[in-house]
Amino acid sequence: MAKAVSELNASHIEELAKSFGEALRETPLIRSQSLEKRVQSKQALFLKAENLQFTGSFKARGALAKILEILKEAKEKGVITASAGNHAQGLAFHASRLGVSAKIVMPIGTPIVKMRATKQWGPEIILFGESYQEAYEEATRLAKESGRAYVHAFDDWTVMAGQGTIGVEILRQCPDVSSVFLPVGGGGLLAGVGSYLKAKNPKIKLIAVQAEGCSSLIPSLKKGSPVSLDKVNTIAEGMAVKRMGEKSFSICQSLVDETVIVSDEEISDALLWILENERLFVEGCGGATVAAAMKRSDLISGSSVILLSGGNLDVDLLARIIERGLAKQGRRTQFEVVIPDSPGSLEALLHVIAQEQASILQVHHERVFTKTALREVVTHIEIETSGLEHLQRVKASLEKTSWPVRFLP
């Protein structure tokens, strides 16, 4: 049984890292020369790939640490938690492995991929509430009712210490690290990793990253205590917490050197960039840290580590991110053009596009729901190009024709 803690200290975090053994994976630290070039950094940039951790997230670390601490009680009465997905998976995975009964309360909007991934380890899943906070309140009620041990997703000293084992790996893999980009939701990750790194080297800069739709850290720092948000709205659902933890915030407020807020659009751009350039499947929280490094490259000092916190991204959401990203880059475009409704007109139009070597993805004629003349047809076309420069050439060629052309936003 792991010993209980009421604070965070480096020696305990190191002990945890050793005790985990093969129950946790030491995730790779990958140098990203592509990102260095993208942000024009003369410093080495590394991606800490916690998306490759067991269950696809760093959350498996804190969950394991807590179960080991209360293992006897957990085997007798079981455990319960509230989670939007990653903590749920980590807890369910280790509970199953250690013979512990688990019950998980998830918000109704939890991504299907995370729900299915959690369910495979055999816990009882309850869908409740529109947010993590509502799920949390229901889970704590059920914990009191059933006697199960509640395992908090972030506001627990042992859970935070478990997350801190990432810091042990970072220093072992990159001893000269100067700055670290970390995503912040409830604050457990920042508290754990930050406490360890600052204890070992107070000069390491900690850059806290939050999504625009759930940024509670900055107002909490200004007030000096956790601030509750009225609502959260972001594709980085792992960050979608209305209020930081009391314990975690008490640690975080003394650790943070810089804060960065990124929009969902910036996160989406980063996710697509990571997929194309590093061939890594990363969820919103992981994309947020890369987006922050792209947005605030001035914060990069010396060798820097960017934490990819998880890889549990809903593939349907990924499809939308890819489509929008391609459109934004000018690689996917739709337009409509009015042509004569007569043989040969479509062929002539497509010939113009083909001459510019653009790929035609879809063609659709609209004859009924339009105000054009009866002998005309509105043709909707979706094309693929190599980028904005190529797209401009296609547009220029089409505008030289006599057909009215309108490119869709």
Q: Record the tokens describing residue 406, joined without a space.
A: 């309108």
Give the Cα separation of 279 and 257 in Å (integer): 30
The answer to whether 11 and 167 have CB atoms below 8 angstroms apart is no
Pick the catalytic residue: 32, 48, 57, 59? 59
Closest by CA to 273, choosing from 330, 321, 213, is: 321
What's the rounded Cα separation, in Å, for the pair 353 and 396?
11
Q: Where are the alpha helices (DSSP H) in 184-338?
A: 188-200, 217-223, 246-252, 264-278, 284-295, 315-328
Known catalytic membership, residue 254: no
Supply angle C-alpha 318, 46, 88, rounded to 5: 50
What distance in Å separates the CA atoms of residue 26 and residue 63, rounded to the nearest whole number? 16
Secondary structure class of 369 (helix, strand, coil): coil
Q: Where are the alpha helices (DSSP H) in 205-263?
A: 217-223, 246-252
Could you give the angle at which helices 86-98 and 112-119 cross, rounded to 10 degrees?
A: 10
Greatest CA span in the chain, whole angstroms?
A: 82
Structure tokens at 104: 């998980």
The active-site residue, picked from 57, 179, 195, 309, is: 309
DSSP assignments along 169-187, one per residue: HHHHH-TTEEEEEEE-SSS
* Residue 59 a catalytic site member: yes
Phi, psi of 41 (to 5 degrees): -95, 135
* Active site positions, annotated: 59, 309
